[in-house]
Amino acid sequence: MKATAIAIVACVGVLSSTSLVAADAKKDAKSQVEFGISVAQRGLWREAIYRWEKATEIDPTYAAAYNDLAIGYEHEGQLDKARKAYEKALELDPNNSQVRQNYELFKEINDRTAQKEK
Amino acid sequence: MIGPLRKKNSAASGMRRLALACAAATLAAFAAACGTDYFEIPIETPIQPKLDVSPFQRVLVYGFVAGGTDDVDANQETVRLLRSQLRTKSSLRVIDADVVPLIDVARDQSQGGSNEDSAGPREGGAPPRASSGNGGSDRGAQGVTLPATIKDEKDLEPYERLFANTAYWKRIGEEFQNPLIVTGTVLFMSRSTSGFVQRDQETFDNLGRRRVMPMRTYMERKGFVLRPKFVFIDGRTGATMYSESYREEILYNAQQNTPALSSYFELMDRLVPNFLSALSSQKIRGTRVLLK
């Protein structure tokens, strides 16, 4: 009886600490994304890309980070990477109209480039 | 009588302004408290040129096989426009030569013209020749009957053989010290159409509220279609490096009288960035939405 109680308490402890770590990771990823936005607004796109890449490493389920990263790649002319990042963002958040709009605008440019490579 | 009334009005409008300012401040405070989760940001996407033009220092916009409406000399105008764009937006030096009536060159070739004289224009201002010399292997389109006037795509088709005549283009290239040659076809046609068009119509209800409703209305419209094909030829070999075709259309209300030349420039304006992106790297401006 006592052992069971200890086991339950231990499980609860592990679960709560795991969720705390996950929450911390999400918070950390969000702060990286926000910092990336603030530097992109000042024209420091390479730094922004670094921050957004970091955010996606910390939280691989963070759709907004992939969206921002795609925009950064697009601005740097890395169209292949941009496409992959947009597709990942849409995979994580398929109903996000803003990501979809960004992706549609990107595709217009990407299609034009693809045509020339034929 | 007028004085106090004015005073009253200005007091009322001052109150209104104060109320509006308060409302705006409240909204701003509310927005700040909520925090914005998206930011619109301008971006510039660099696009690499479609062609490797590094072997060339100079570009010759030679001439175009043009057809369609007689209101615009599409050959002259296209050559002039592309040359001026290339002068300012490409690193290549633009050769200032006479504009060649390419339609005559094609006809001459189809008739097996034996004029041994040089075909091309002269750099620096000699008058363009009505027909061009195409001795021997230059006769790429020989034996093909070419329509006397070009009114549509079908009429233009047989003229396209001219661009496959490598011997001819090689000779033009030699004459101008092996530049990149830009040529092609331009069809600028008038067009009229009628049918239902969706337009936004502004309405006001009984309370004076403005509404914009999409309305389908029957309209007769007229305008122009521009169909250019740009062909890029290596002046060293006479071979086609790359070609691209476009189609742009503009339609106006049938009552509106827009000159053909201004429509031509409006349509070309849409295509010029695509043309330039073949030769030089371009930056495409746009806006995207960053998300938190």
Say if the Cβ atoms of B288 and A105 lie within 8 Å.
yes
pLDDT digits (tens, 9 = 90+) for B207-241: 888 888 888 888 888 899 999 999 999 999 999 99
The residues, ordered by sequence, that sit 6+ positions from B247 with a Cβ below 8 Å of its Cβ are B225, B226, B227
Nearest chain A residue to B47 by CA distance is A77
Are B56 and B31 in contact by the 8 Å Cβ rule? The answer is no
pLDDT (0 to 100) of residue A106:
95
Residues of A with CB under 8 A from a CB of B: 30, 33-34, 37, 40-41, 63-64, 67-68, 71, 74-77, 79, 96, 98-99, 101-102, 105-106, 109, 112-113, 116
Residue B206 clears pLDDT 80, i.e. is over it: yes
Is B110 domain-assigned? no
Is B157 domain-assigned? yes
Contacts of A88 in chain B (CB under 8 A): none
Q: Are residues B269 and B149 in the same domain?
A: yes
ipTM score: 0.83
Residue B196 clears pLDDT 80, i.e. is over it: yes
Place of tokens 């409703």: B213
3-class SS of residue B210: strand
C-alpha span between A70 and B62 (Å, rounded): 42
Is B185 exposed, middle or buried (CB count within 10 Å of its CB: 0-12, 13-18, 19+)? buried
Q: Report the run of H or E that residue A16 belongs to, with start and end.
A: helix A2-41
Residue with the bigger pLDDT between B12 and A5: it is A5
Is B52 domain-assigned? yes
- Which structure tokens are listed for A43? 């024209």
Rounded to the nearest 10 degrees, the angle between the axes of helix B260-276 and helix B74-89 is 40
pLDDT bracket for residue B33 (50, 70, 90): very low
Place of tokens 């029957």: B218
Q: How far is B273 from chain A (nearest CA, A)?
A: 12
Q: Does B278 touch chain A (CB under 8 A)?
A: yes
Are B169 and B140 in contact by the 8 Å Cβ rule? The answer is no
- pTM for this predicted structure: 0.63
pLDDT (0 to 100) of residue B197:
80
Among the CATH numbers 1.10.540.10, 1.10.10.10, 3.90.180.10, 1.25.40.10, which is that of A28-117?
Answer: 1.25.40.10
Residue with the bigger pLDDT between A86 and B195: it is A86
Q: Report the run of H or E that residue A66 belongs to, with start and end.
A: helix A63-75
pLDDT (0 to 100) of residue A28:
92
Residue B31 clears pLDDT 60, i.e. is over it: no
Work out the average pLDDT over B34-45.
84
C-alpha span between B134 and B130 (Å, rounded): 13
Average pLDDT in chain B: 80
Work out the average pLDDT over B190-194.
86
Provide the Cα torsion B171, B175, B177, B179; round to 10°. -60
C-alpha span between A49 and A65 (Å, rounded): 10
Q: Are residues B75 and B160 in the same domain?
A: yes
- Which structure tokens are listed for B288? 């995207």
Q: Report the run of H or E that residue B66 belongs to, with start and end.
A: strand B58-68
pLDDT digits (tens, 9 = 90+) for B131-190: 333 444 455 555 667 888 888 888 888 999 999 999 999 999 999 999 999 999 999 999
Residue with the bigger pLDDT between A14 and A83: it is A83
pLDDT (0 to 100) of residue B37:
87
User: For B22, phi and psi rounded to 5 degrees?
Assistant: -60, -45
CB atoms closer than 10 angstroms to residue B191: 14
C-alpha span between A15 and A11 (Å, rounded): 6
pLDDT (0 to 100) of residue B134:
40
Is B29 domain-assigned? yes
Is the sign of the CA dihedral B176, B178, B180, B182 positive or negative? Answer: positive
pLDDT (0 to 100) of residue B25:
46
A37, B199, B224, B244, B270 from B266: Cα distances, Å: 37, 22, 10, 19, 7
- Identity at B251, one-letter amino acid code: L
Q: Which pairs with CB-CB distance under 8 Å and at least 24 residues apart come from A9-13?
A: none
Of the candidates B38, B43, B284, the beta carbon closest to that of A98 is on B38
| Percent share of chain B, pLDDT over 70 | 76
Looking at chain B, list the stretches that DSSP marks H as alpha helix, in order from N- to C-terminal side: 2-34, 74-89, 102-110, 153-156, 166-175, 260-276
pLDDT bracket for residue A20 (50, 70, 90): low
C-alpha span between B27 and A28 (Å, rounded): 30
Residue of A88, A75, A70 lying closest to A43 (CA atoms)? A75
Domains of chain A, by residue range, sit at: 28-117
Q: Are residues B27 and B81 in the same domain?
A: no
Residue B268 clears pLDDT 90, i.e. is over it: yes
pLDDT digits (tens, 9 = 90+) for B111-121: 775 443 444 55
Q: Are residues B32 and B49 in the same domain?
A: no
- Among A34, A78, A112, the strongest candidate for a mutation testing the B interface, having the largest count of B CBs within 10 A, is A112
Say if the Cβ atoms of B48 and A113 lie within 8 Å.
yes
pLDDT bracket for residue A67 (50, 70, 90): very high
pLDDT (0 to 100) of residue B131:
38
Owning domain of residue B244 = 45-99+145-191+218-291
Please state which of the ranges A67-76, B17-26, B150-159, B281-290 shows the lowest mean pLDDT: B17-26
Q: Are residues B18 and B159 in the same domain?
A: no
Q: Are residues B238 and B261 in the same domain?
A: yes
- Which structure tokens are listed for B258? 């827009």
Is B123 domain-assigned? no
CB atoms closer than 10 angstroms to residue B58: 15
Is B72 exposed, middle or buried (CB count within 10 Å of its CB: 0-12, 13-18, 19+)? buried
How many structural domains does chain B have? 2
Nearest chain B residue to A97 by CA distance is B289
Say if the Cβ atoms of A75 and B39 lie within 8 Å.
no
Residue A1 clears pLDDT 60, i.e. is over it: no
Is B111 domain-assigned? no
Is B93 domain-assigned? yes
C-alpha span between B101 and A24 (Å, rounded): 72
Residue with the bigger pLDDT between B96 and B143: it is B96
Q: Report the run of H or E that residue B58 belongs to, with start and end.
A: strand B58-68
pLDDT (0 to 100) of residue B258:
87
pLDDT bracket for residue B82 (50, 70, 90): very high
C-alpha span between A88 and A96 (Å, rounded): 12
Q: Are residues B149 and B174 in the same domain?
A: yes
pLDDT digits (tens, 9 = 90+) for A87-102: 999 999 999 999 999 9
Q: Are residues B24 and B162 in the same domain?
A: no
C-alpha span between B185 and B163 (Å, rounded): 10
Q: How far is B46 from chain A (nearest CA, A)?
A: 5
Work out the average pLDDT over B101-110.
89
Are B201 and B209 in contact by the 8 Å Cβ rule? The answer is no
- Which structure tokens are listed for A42? 């000042």
Residue A110 clears pLDDT 90, i.e. is over it: no
Residue of B258, B196, B270 lying closest to B224 (CA atoms)? B258
Is B137 domain-assigned? no
